[in-house]
Amino acid sequence: MPRAQRRQQIIGEATRIIGQRGYYGFSMQELADSCGLTVAGLLHHVGSKEDLLVALLQARDQRDRDALGEWARSRQEAGTPTLADSVDALHQVVVRNAGQPELVRLYSMLRAESLYPGHPAREYFKARDEDVLRAFARQFAGLADHPDSLARQVLALMGGLEDQWLRDPAAVDLVREWDRAMHTIVTSLTARGSDDQRPASRLHNL
């Protein structure tokens, strides 16, 4: 099997296994067996267990960047992105997540495990949350009294809905619940913008 194809196979199997059992609950031997490799052969392709974890997280982030990059290119002609554009971008992310539960399960599992000091993904999730919170807060600046707080609430909303959906996908429509929640938030901001004579036009078409 070509090296690139083998690595893709390993990433796929690792995503499935860690998504079910967590980082601490799977072994490199199990992953090697699943891929038809020896442990030595597996390590040749991915390095250490920690290196594999980094590769999984980077692969997921790259998929999101690629998808959002395509979305952004389609919006470039419209000029400077608005809050409405950002809400639409988040909608696209949630739609993609709804179609790949194994990846979302992996991420949810690792995000929870990384609360433990010493977990190899702890700093990754800390840095990523900080980046996302800054981006959200920038969009809410001037529209909310406490944009940093609202940014945390939106981030928590996304993670919380994903957890509920993973636990009972038949009862929770992830995209519908996300859109309803964001509609409530945006409606509130629109009302404030109108009352305070703020630029509520940034929220058009929502």
Residue boundaries of the structural domains of the chain? 50-199
Q: Could you tell me the sign of the dihedral formed by the alpha carbons of 54, 5, 26, 32, in that order?
A: negative
Residues facing residue 141 across a β-bridge: 144
The set of long-range contacts for 22-28, using a CB threshold of 8 Å and a minimum separation of 24, is: 22/109, 22/110, 22/113, 23/53, 23/109, 23/110, 23/113, 23/119, 23/120, 23/121, 24/113, 28/52
Residues 155, 205: Cα–Cα separation, whole Å:
22
**What's the mean pLDDT in 125-132?**
92
CB 15 within 8 A of CB 98: no
Identify whether the C-beta of residue 164 lies closer than 8 Å to the C-beta of residue 172.
yes
In whole angstroms, give the CA distance from residue 108 to residue 162: 8
What is the model's pLDDT at position 202? 38
Q: pLDDT class for 135, splitting at 50, 70, 90? A: confident
Residue 163: predicted pLDDT:
96
Q: Please give the model's pTM, rounded to 2 decimal places.
A: 0.77
Architecture of domain 50-199: Orthogonal Bundle (1.10)
Q: Which residues are within 8 A (CB) of 185 and not within 5 positions of it... i.e. 6 or more apart?
A: 150, 154
What pLDDT does residue 201 have? 37
The predicted-structure confidence for 45-70, as pLDDT tens digits, reads as follows 999 998 899 888 888 788 777 766 66
- The per-residue pLDDT for 156 is 96
Examine the pLDDT at 186 and tell me if it is beyond 80: yes
Burial degree of 140 (CB within 10 A; 0-12, 13-18, 19+): buried
Helix (H) or strand (E) holding 49: helix 49-75
Least confident piece of the model among 35-39, 81-85, 166-170: 81-85
What does the block give as tokens for 195? 């009352």
